[in-house]
Amino acid sequence: MWDNPRLLNRAANALGALAALIFAYGGLQLLLRSPVFPLREVVVLGELKHANREEIAGALEGIGGNFFAADLAAVRGRLEQVGWVRRVDARRVWPDRIEVRLEEHVAFARWGDSGFVNTFGEPFAAELDPAEQGALPLLAGPPGTEGELARRYQRFAALLAPLGDKPARVVLTPRHAWQLRLATGLQVELGRDGPEAVEQRLERFVGVYAALLGQLGRARFERADLRYPNGFALRITGGKG
C-alpha cells in the first residue's frame, strides 16, 4: 500500500474529508450553543378572530434561546394544538426574530353533535359563541365524509336558490342515503345516488315547486319524498299524504 501512490492519495482525501466533516460538525454545535445570536422576539402574524391569544402565548413559552437552535417544527406543532388554528408557518428573520403566521379555521357548518367543518371541508373542534353556532347549517354523516357533505351542501343550496330556500341540515345516512331539512322546515328525502344523481331529483322538484304552490294555495308542505324514479310524494301539514 505504501508503495501505491493512488491508494495513498485516496486515503489522504478520505482523511481530509473526514476532518472537514468533524470540523463542520464542531462549528455547527458551537454556533447552535453560542450566546452571540440570542433569539429575542417571536412575532405572531395573521388575522385572528377566534383563537385565544393567551393559549397562543402559552404555546410559545420556552421558545427562547439561540436564533439558530430554535426548533421551528416544534413551534408549529405547539401552535397547531391551539383551538381554531388551522395552519402555522414559521420562519427565522435575521438576526434575532422568528415570525409565525397563523391561519384560522373558518367555520362552514356544525358537524354532528359536536365540532365543526371548515370551508375546506375539514373537521375541527373548537368553542364558538352560541349565536354564531346556531346560524350555521348542520352536517351529519359517517366519519371521513365531512368534505363530501360540505361539497354536496353547496350543490343543494345552489339548486334551492330559485325557491329562496336553503338547507338547514344535510344528513348522509350509514346506507349513503341523503336527507335534507330546509330552512322553511320542509323535510326532503333524496335517497341514494344511482343511475340518477340525487341532485337531478332535487332539480326536478325545484322546477315544479312553484306550480305546486299555485295549485295547493297556502298549503304547508311537511315532507317531500323524491326517491321515486318518475315523480315524488308530498305530505302536507295536517294531511295523510
* Contact partners, residue 37, CB within 8 Å, separation at least 6: 31, 66, 67, 68, 95, 96
In 3D space, the residue among 197, 120, 131 whose CA is nearest the CA of residue 154 turns out to be 120
Cis amide linkage into residue 95, ω under 30° from 0 = yes
Tens digits of per-residue pLDDT, 96-145? 889 999 999 999 999 988 799 999 999 999 999 999 999 999 999 999 99
Using left for φ > 0, alpha for ψ between -120 and 50, and beta otherwise, residue 227 falls in: alpha
Cell numbers representing residue 67 in the block: 436564533
Q: How far apart are CA 64 and CA 69, in angstroms?
A: 9
Tens digits of per-residue pLDDT, 139-182? 999 999 999 999 999 999 999 999 899 999 999 999 999 999 99
